[in-house]
A and B are shown apart, each in its own frame.
Chain A
């Protein structure tokens, strides 16, 4: 039995080192060189920031870092002491609380410096409040993108999103989002002094498509190999580091390294877990405060987490063909991301499809009460998975708030579930 904590892929270590070095450089640039950067939600058009030479710290990535450093409990307690109620969203507000707390000696890597701009899509009603308070504290600009609703909801969206996205996401919504993106560019031009070039966007969009096509090859290998060649946590590390820098030369090259290592392992029958008996699906955001959970059931049951949304959503959620108007194409990538991942009918239909494609034996659905947008749609997802024969268990726990997470109890719960509900 291999050590479940070790990184099996060299590229996983490289990805982590790259991201840490990137952030160190960012802090240096901001503090020493007075260079601008941005804080945004993860579902923003990062491509535009990248083109304009403005580095982005994703709010969700930063929350995951805080959680992995076991600081979420501290910040959520501090939030309560500041007079905010317990029910407020944890995933989206950890970074804000870190800023309000203003203790660089406690914050990961010294904390976030003042950004030149903050930006978010207004999906959940709490986002505008979190970002407005945050921007006020920093003394910076908050530029929101409003979120329209899809009213045509063909269930199998992934069959349309690459080529038929104009129809899928509705022309009037794309018109609106495209105009908002041009407005955002105006802000970015003011900050950076750089002139936006639509041809550069097209090139970048081509790069993103290439990167996601490479990820699709990895998806296919994981789905079809006798045993999964790569653990889920390593999938996430590699994929998300590329996604934060998507379409860049580094991201494409790293995606290739990731693919090649996975391919080598498949061709040489190297499994992430030699004893793989049961293929598990993880539904929801990563359990950032206890990533050891993902390998806890390998030894006794041969139960291996092989799927999370992070890798699979790359190709299905990001690839867009038809770049005649790259800004409109980009609008189509972000205009319904929330619906695709969390809302019926799109999230449930896609998860069920992915479960079948990946020969999933059982699914664990994370329902984080403290992060409302990730709760909604969960029951529809559970029903859809059960309907295609995938036993499912729901865990009411938070992805970043580890205060009420009883490690042993949760492991016992899943072990009972595997023993009693999962057949192999």
Chain B
């Protein structure tokens, strides 16, 4: 394994490492819980954005508040926030990517109200809707503007004597560079140059690293992958279902020689995709990307939600595998359409 791949793997596994380093160095850190928060706005305001993620199984203490039917990731995040692991965050931004996140917001606010738990940071709820219609679009753009105002106010409160403002286009440019590289990685996956486990690690590290460091390492890793010989494999699989913040499922699928070439998931293939336009109105450009192109269980109608999948299966996928949490009550319904899509 190359040094750069080791670095990406380290950050994929040590998810608070960079955020804590930044915090210790005096850089204020803002956490967010999923893919529909425009991290470019956080960077523009001078904060370090980090994905808040956790994957634990012992919920003692927090299980008095959160019922066991929540998915493991949501329960884990809730538990770790209450227990203080994320108390260094300046702010936690929770978007409405899923209803579970809306509930996470309400539960955290309620524990804070009832107990004054000092571990819970300031929380901002980003109410970006995902129904695709002009009303939701207008509402969402208003929410995007409000988030920007909130971050600017946070910026003023923290950096009163410094001018740390970054022009909007720099973080957007960085995002586009990363997306270009991830799109190249996606091509390599179909050429069987890397496993799904490797791909998940390489992509997932992005959420837990300084993005400039991430690009440097990603570029080296891509070069290394590009000269590999294709692996022999029996079937090319695409994974659909709940979001996957680990590699266990991919390992189980690939142990018999199959290869996972794509995921309908922001932890996997959907982290790349179309680039963000750069114009005189960067907020609108960001909004367009996050509103029209982000995967979310709340995207409606289903035809829109399945556009990506419909295109992807044309690339040579042999089988679609469903990943469903044991308590899933949402994505299981989609088997109905996927069967139809696949004929």
Contact = CB atoms under 8 A, between A and B. Distances in A.
Interface in A358-397: 367, 369, 372, 375-380, 383
Interface string B203-245: 0000000000000000000000000000000000000000000
Interface stretch (B12-20, B47-55, B252-260, B328-336): B328-336
B81 to A, nearest CB: 15
Q: Tell me which of B106, B329, B330, B332 has the highest count of chain A C-beta atoms within 10 A of its own C-beta.
A: B329
A345 B113 contact: yes
Given A149-B102, A378-B67, A180 B329 contact: no
B328 to A, nearest CB: 6
Interface stretch (B83-91, B172-180, B262-270, B297-305): B297-305
B159 interface: no
B323 interface: no
Contacts of B301: 128, 132
Interface stretch (A40-48, A82-90, A291-299, A408-416): A82-90
A270 interface: no
Contacts of A123: 99
A372 B135 contact: no
A130 B300 CA distance: 12
A148 B67 contact: no
B105 A149 contact: yes
Nearest to B113: A345
B308 interface: no
A88 B332 contact: yes
B142 interface: yes
Size class of A's contact patch? Answer: 35 or more
Interface in B49-99: 64-67, 69-70, 96, 98-99
A377 to B, nearest CB: 8
A22 B35 CA distance: 48
A129 B330 contact: yes
Q: Tell me which of B96, B106, B135 has the highest count of chain A C-beta atoms within 10 A of its own C-beta.
A: B106
Nearest to A382: B64
Interface in B317-343: 324, 326-330, 332-337, 339
Contacts of B328: 85, 87
A122 B102 contact: no
A323 interface: no
B125 interface: yes
B131 interface: yes
B110 A179 contact: no
B13 to A, nearest CB: 29
Contacts of B117: none
B144 to A, nearest CB: 13
B330 A126 contact: yes
Nearest to A92: B329
A148 B127 contact: yes
Interface string B130-151: 0100011001001000000000
B110 A379 contact: no
B134 to A, nearest CB: 9
B103 A343 contact: yes
A179 to B, nearest CB: 5
A126 B333 contact: yes
B67 A130 contact: no
A319 to B, nearest CB: 24
A159 B24 CA distance: 46
Interface residues of B, number: 45
Contacts of A126: 329-330, 333
A129 B334 contact: yes
Contacts of A129: 302, 330, 333-334
A156 interface: no
Nearest to A100: B336
B113 A176 contact: no
Contact of A88 (B125, B297, B333): B333
A125 interface: yes
Q: Tell me which of A129, A148, A375, A378 has the highest count of chain B C-beta atoms within 10 A of its own C-beta.
A: A129
A172 B139 CA distance: 8
A207 interface: no
A302 interface: no
A151 B129 contact: no
B125 A149 contact: yes
A325 interface: no
B322 to A, nearest CB: 9
B107 interface: yes
B110 A125 contact: no
A376 B67 contact: yes
Contacts of B103: 343, 376
A372 B69 CA distance: 7
Interface string A138-169: 00000010101101010100000000000000
A133 interface: yes
Contacts of B298: 122, 125, 128
Contacts of B142: 172
Contacts of A85: 324, 328, 332
A124 interface: yes
Given A148-B129, A151-B127, A345-B110, A125 B135 contact: no
B5 interface: no
A264 B103 CA distance: 44
B109 interface: yes
A179 B96 contact: no
Contact of B329 (A88, A128, A172, A343): A88
A136 B217 CA distance: 47
Contact of B136 (A125, A146, A348, A383): A146
A396 to B, nearest CB: 10
Contact of A87 (B98, B113, B326): B326
A344 interface: yes
A155 B302 CA distance: 36
Interface of A: 83-85, 87-89, 122-126, 128-130, 132-133, 144, 146, 148-149, 151, 153, 155, 172, 176, 179-180, 183, 339, 343-345, 348, 367, 369, 372, 375-380, 383
- Rank and list the top 7 A-B pairs by shortest CB-CB distance, nearest first: A344-B110, A129-B333, A85-B332, A125-B330, A146-B131, A125-B297, A125-B99
Given A123-B99, A172-B142, A179-B135, 12 more contacts: A84-B336, A85-B332, A87-B329, A133-B333, A133-B336, A144-B131, A146-B131, A149-B105, A151-B125, A180-B135, A344-B107, A376-B70
11 contacts: A125-B297, A129-B333, A148-B139, A149-B102, A149-B125, A153-B106, A176-B139, A183-B135, A345-B113, A380-B107, A383-B114
